[in-house]
Chain A
Amino acid sequence: MRLAKNLRAFLRVGTVGALAYRADVIVWLLSTTMPLIMIAFFGAVTRDGAIGRYHEPQIVAYFLATFIIRSLTASWISWQINLDIRDGTLGSRLLLPVHPLVAYAAESIGGMPVRALGSVVIAGIMLALLGPSAVAHDPVIWILWCVSVAAAWLLSLLVSVTIGGLAFFVDSSAKVMDAWLAGLFVFSGYLIPVDLFPPRLRAVVDWLPFRYQIGLPVELMVGAHDRASAVGLVGRQLLFVVVLALVTFAVWRRGVARFAAYGG
């Protein structure tokens, strides 16, 4: 009961925070140019014929979907955590009646309505431009899509919290995040649909966590998988969530034990 009340408070903080800094959302939307740049690039490629299973409309649908998934699931909390740990603010967070990880997660969820609004607009544009054939039609796939978006969000949050938590041990956890982001861009399907990778690289990408942060929900959304393969992939995604959750808790348990809030 008390936990529920606390969580509600954190959710409200997140929502109000996102509303107060709504200009940040616009900046974020404007600076998410990569999907558009990739539409231009692959658009030029498909002018001379399809690449893989992609003609121009499929490319546009794919990258508008990456835009939606990225804005629903991206997490910037690692920079905040890095700062909290290094300037000692984490001390006051540890005093709060919920675990800091739960608080970070609740704030992230609280920001969701504002982000979802942006995504709905993009989805509207997508349907208006390309018609309903651009997205999956099977309701089972859409149920799996919901699971997969939630898992992708959780995965991004866990990565962010773990890498942010590395600041307990090293100074440059922000640089680790920067390197992770570069990997995410290349291997997640954010810049290149993973089915265009050469087969051997693809096999590697299937076992890296990146694809499950962006690519998988995008692929489900544009109807790239049948039910059987979708279930398999979402299962693998959930496996990644569990493994990463274990890593996150291990890092934080050890980190908090080491933590000393100088001047906090």
Chain B
Amino acid sequence: MPRYLRLFLAQLRISLLVSAQYRVDFLVDGAIEILWTSTALAPLIVVFASRDRIAGWSFGEALIVVGFFTLLQALLEGVLNPSFVAVAEHVRKGTLDYVLLLPADAQFLVSTGRFHVWRSVNVLTAAGIFVVGFRELGRAPTLASAAFGLTLFAVAAILMHSLWTLAMCTVFYAVKADQITDVLSATLDASRWPSSVFRGGTRLVLTFVVPLGLMTTVPARAFLGDEGVLLPCVALLEAVALALIARVVWRRAIARYTSASS
């Protein structure tokens, strides 16, 4: 088994063990995540009570977008935020030394350092939303379109990880810079709607600059079986480019890091 896969599984196991100590949190955190998901569902339910389509999307189709948005939230709350909050703390306290000294890639270590397992309950919520969405549409996804959709979601995950890495790197330069992730999370909220809801300039920005449209709408359309090849290719290219940029910025940031405590 490749070394990094083993390392990943070890990190995951530790997080699972930690989470298993706080079992009641499964109910509490799970319930809270589901409540927040309802903030994306409620406007759809209210509006589709009197409409058949919004910006070209039916209720079932829009639910698929919300499903992918919910998956992104699970990734954010369960993986990215816990890890990156830990990095900000490491930098402030000077304990990042202990990570940098380990005989493995530091970016990998901090990205997999802490999983909030219970906050990933939204993976289940998303699955539920997909089921309801396709039932609403009166059909099931083909195996190929499901695979295509999930692959594009993996691309979205890379995009998101890179965006968050870039945001996180600012903590090496300014004290309270981790607030940038708050702004980023708030911006991510825009990806709960199909990108055709947004008009003109906003839509272009959300596709190419902050690629939120690529992260939910494109996987959703692929899942629904009506995405072409152009936007998935754009998504892939942007993911590769952003991952490379994030890598370079991260290297520079840790080169600049001087441990505060020692």
Contacts and interface: CB of A to CB of B under 8 A. Distances in A.
A38 interface: yes
A252 B36 CA distance: 29
A27 B182 CA distance: 8
Interface in A152-209: 172, 175, 178-179, 182-183, 185-186, 191-192, 196-198
A40 interface: yes
B85 to A, nearest CB: 14
A31 B46 contact: no
A186 B193 contact: no
Interface string B25-58: 0001101100110110011001101110111000
Given A182-B32, A182-B35, A31 B185 contact: yes
Contacts of A143: none
Q: A-side binding surface: helix, strand, loop or mixed?
A: helix
Interface stretch (B150-158, B194-202, B239-247, B248-256): B194-202
A33 interface: yes
A185 B39 contact: yes
B202 to A, nearest CB: 7
A179 B31 contact: yes
A34 to B, nearest CB: 6
Contacts of A33: 186-187, 189-190
B91 to A, nearest CB: 18
Contacts of B54: 41, 44-45, 48
Given A33-B187, A37-B189, A179-B32, 15 more contacts: A23-B176, A24-B179, A30-B183, A31-B182, A34-B189, A40-B190, A41-B197, A43-B197, A43-B199, A44-B54, A48-B51, A51-B51, A182-B35, A191-B43, A192-B46
A179 B43 contact: no
Interface in A17-33: 23-24, 27, 30-33
A47 interface: yes
B192 interface: yes
B32 A40 contact: no
A24 B39 CA distance: 25
A192 B189 CA distance: 15
Nearest to B56: A44
A186 B37 CA distance: 10
Contacts of A51: 47, 50-51
The 8 closest A-B pairs by CB, nearest first: A182-B35, A31-B186, A44-B55, A44-B197, A33-B186, A30-B183, A185-B39, A27-B179
10 contacts: A31-B185, A33-B189, A34-B189, A41-B43, A41-B193, A44-B196, A48-B51, A51-B50, A179-B31, A186-B42
B17 to A, nearest CB: 21
A191 B39 contact: yes
Contacts of B39: 182, 185-186, 191
A45 B28 contact: no
B43 A40 contact: no
B182 to A, nearest CB: 5
Nearest to B203: A40
Given A45-B51, A198-B49, A191 B42 contact: yes
A32 B23 CA distance: 33
B217 to A, nearest CB: 13
B190 A31 contact: no
A172 B42 CA distance: 26
A64 B192 CA distance: 20
Given A27-B182, A45-B54, A51-B51, A197 B38 contact: no
A62 to B, nearest CB: 13
B35 A183 contact: yes
Nearest to A38: B43
A185 B204 CA distance: 28
Contacts of A186: 38-39, 42
Contacts of A38: 43
B35 A192 contact: no
Contacts of B29: 175
Contacts of A45: 47, 51, 54
A209 B176 CA distance: 34
Nearest to B53: A48
